[in-house]
Amino acid sequence: MGVTVAIFVAGLLSPDIDRWLVENLAQANFLVADGEWWRIFTAALLHGGLMHVLFNMYALYLFGPRLEQQVGSPGFLALYVASAGLGGAVSYAFGPFIQVSIGASGAIFGLFGAWMFVAWKMRGTPGGRAMFNQLGFLLLINLSLPLFVSNIDWRAHLGGFGAGVLIALLWSLLAVGKPQARTIRTLVAAVVGVAAIFVVLLV
């Protein structure tokens, strides 16, 4: 949150900095196609306006701290970055060639996806069912937003959400109960992030 807000404020204070950030970090699909694959990750650091950054950082505040406590900071960071990357990769693979995207929504949807998987695993308990229903309602609202609000990169949302679900699934299969669980979680999420790069290179 600190890094993202600091970058947003820097762009507000200096038009030259803002221009440099967009030119070098935004996900311009035609530049990604030209070999600048890192943009699928760095676009998550940029936001187009105050409401955009506030909405995403509030969502990060809601979904992030508890998950970070449970899986550890390295695993949480790897999940966040991998979700941003896979969201960007899906947006690149299925979006317009001239599309330019910014925002951390893909990463946020990755956290959303991880929590949805946890809630689904706990659906046999009253608390798990309640959490699953609440998250499902929020997911429905967010997926319907592109029908009413223009310029929302729904492909990045779906890609990020899928990354979160996939990583949480792999964590449950490979890390739960293991002595090096936190290290395994970090490696698993990192592999998904690397896979996002391969998707871009293959496309």
What is the tens place of the pLDDT at every residue in 141-176? 777 776 666 678 899 999 999 999 999 999 999 999
Given 47, 91, 101, 157, which residue is catalytic? Answer: 157
Return the bridge partners of 100, or none.
28
Q: Which of 111, 113, 117 is nearest to 172 (CA)?
A: 117
pLDDT of residue 184: 97
CA distance 190 to 173: 16
Structure-derived torsion over alpha carbons of residues 163, 62, 12, 83, reported in degrees to the nearest 10 = -10
CA distance 64 to 53: 15
**Is 47 tagged catalytic?**
no
pLDDT of residue 77: 97
Under the banding of pLDDT at 50, 70 and 90, the label for residue 125 is confident
Q: Of the given ranges (8-12, 17-21, 125-129, 138-142), which has the lowest mean pLDDT? A: 138-142
Model pTM? 0.93
Given 47, 105, 144, 150, which residue is catalytic? Answer: 105
pLDDT of residue 183: 96
Q: Which of 2, 157, 163, 19 is nearest to 81 (CA)?
A: 163
Is 121:172 a contact under the CB 8 Å cutoff? yes
